[in-house]
Amino acid sequence: MLTPRGGQAPALRLGETKSMFTPRIAPSMLASDFTRFGEEVTRIVAAGADLLHFDVMDGDFVPYFAISPMTIAALRQTTDVPFDVHIMVTRPRRYIDALATAGANLITFHIESADAPEAVIKAIHARGVKAGVALSPDTSIEAVLPYLSQLDLVLPMSVEPGRGGQTFQPGALEKIARLRQRIDEQNLDVEISADGGVTPEIAPLAVQRGATILVAGTAIFRSPHPELVVKQLRQA
């Protein structure tokens, strides 16, 4: 369900302006109107979302709270669109069963968290869910390379985790390119997601370097025409 359309993304070719790969678009529900969450899901699925991105926080790994497994379980009743759950928590292992039961299709935890990555990946896969690892902006890709062959997705974050509405940090682009090179060298089927400050202007830069999923909160939800933004992001 989460395999890239048309196989692996191409590596960046200099001078290439348009990617040969169509990314999947994952609106980040953190930017939606929390007073009418269910309607926001329906609205954004109608606007063309390929996945829905949910941010889970524990008030410890990041000093905020966001969306809970209970909320995700409730929203699971409203749509069949895959749920891409990004957990910014110190102890990811503790959350896996609740999130799998809630209906997550993909769970992405942070490599900077306190649990052993192999154990978390194993726990996610044991529940039949895809496993991803996220890196905060100050973390180098070397931290995740040992786990690449066990993963379904890598997310090199382009903002500090915890809040929407921040500006894209361009350092993420080089990380995407280097991760894509490693993934392709090893002939692996690992997606790369861009998350944080993604706009229609940023999208082609990320996709040309090998991103296959684009997460966008502010750009989509603050627009009067989210369906156009989803389309523009997809045409990266």
* Contacting residues toward ligand DX5, per CB under 6 A: 28, 30-31, 53, 55, 86, 159, 161-166, 195-198, 215-219
Residue type, 42: T
Label residue 187 left, alpha or beta by phi (over 0 means left) and psi (-120 to 50 means alpha).
Answer: left
**Gyration radius of the chain's alpha carbons:** 16
Using CB under 5 A as the binding rule, whether residue 195 contacts Zn ion is answered as: yes
CA 165, 171, 175, 177 torsion-angle sign? positive
Residue whose token pair is 């991803």: 132
Pick the closer one to ligand DX5 by CB: 85 or 129. 85
Could you say which of Zn ion, ligand DX5, none residue 31 binds, taking C-beta under 5 to 8 angstroms by partner kind? ligand DX5
* Smallest separation, CB 7 to ligand DX5 (Å): 26
Nearer to Zn ion, 19 or 28 (CB): 28
> Which of 166, 181 has the CB closer to ligand DX5?
166
Active site residues: 55, 195
Helix (H, G, I), strand (E, B) or coil at 55: strand
Q: Which residue is nearest to ligand DX5 (CB)?
A: 217
From the list ligand DX5, Zn ion, none, partner contacted by residue 161 (C-beta under 5 to 8 A by kind): ligand DX5
Minimum separation from the CB atom of position 150 to ligand DX5 (A): 22
What is the size of the binding site for Zn ion (CB under 5 A)? 3
Could you say which residues in the range 76-95 bind Zn ion, by CB under 5 A? 86
Minimum Å gap between C-beta 44 and ligand DX5 is: 13
Nearest-angstrom CA–CA distance, 25 and 47: 11
What is the nearest approach in angstroms of Zn ion to the Cβ of residue 215? 6
> Among 96, 94, 126, which Cα is nearest to 108's?
96
Please identify, using beta-carbon distances, which residue of 96 and 194 lies nearer to Zn ion: 194
Residue type, 163: R
**Are 212 and 13 in contact, with CB atoms under 8 Å apart?**
no
Residue 135's CB: how many other CB atoms inside 10 A?
A: 22
Site string for Zn ion, 37-56 (x = CB under 5 A): ------------------x-
Q: What is the dihedral of CA 12, 228, 169, 178, to 10 degrees?
A: -20
Q: How far is the CB of 28 from Zn ion (least distance, A)?
A: 6
Nearer to ligand DX5, 186 or 225 (CB): 225
Q: What is the dihedral of CA 221, 3, 119, 161, to 10 degrees?
A: -20
